[in-house]
Amino acid sequence: MAVFFIDSSALVKRYVRERGTAFVTDTTDPAAAHRVYIARITGVEVIAALARRHRAGDIATDALAAVIAQFREEFAVVYRVVEMTAGLLADAMRLAETGELRGYDAVQLAAALRVHAECTALGLSITVISADADLNEAALAEGLAVEDPTRYP
């Protein structure tokens, strides 16, 4: 069993076929028995990305409804959701100020660091999975292991 924190730039690859889809699908497959954490805001970001892809013509209307239903189901039962708390958001503000991150990227990193702290206390390590270069750079600077799914077909 491995522990992963997946941001929305990577998780959307589970629901839309693109470079890195196989890597993310394998990582998030419940049969793999990994612990997969996501931030609560990832729900908003993934659905927004799917809707944007629909507006661009990449996803048909009936396919959009099906993929959003799949995501909502998995959001509820597959992923371990990191809640947004005042402390986590204060950490995100600090990260946004010092790390030159966009707002939600700072929240994603703060959530990953929260999971990292909890896992370290249990003797476990985590890997952040993200397709966002700025977030990956900031996560590495914070001492986290990072995997970019776009490095895989």
Q: So what's the pLDDT on residue 13?
A: 97
For each of the domains in the chain, give its residue range(s) and CATH number, in order of start. Answer: 3-151 (3.40.50.1010)
Residue 52: partners with Cβ closer than 8 Å, 6 or more residues away:
none
Across-strand partners of 35?
3
Smallest CA-to-CA distance from 7 within 150, 152, 153 is with: 150
Q: How many degrees, rounded to 5, is the angle at CA 31 between CA 26 and CA 35?
A: 75
- Model pTM score: 0.95
Phi–psi pair at 84, nearest 5 degrees: -85, 115
Local confidence band at 97 (pLDDT 50, 70, 90 cut-offs): very high
31-53 pLDDT, tens per residue?
999 999 999 999 999 999 999 99
Phi–psi pair at 77, nearest 5 degrees: -125, -20
Local confidence band at 116 (pLDDT 50, 70, 90 cut-offs): very high
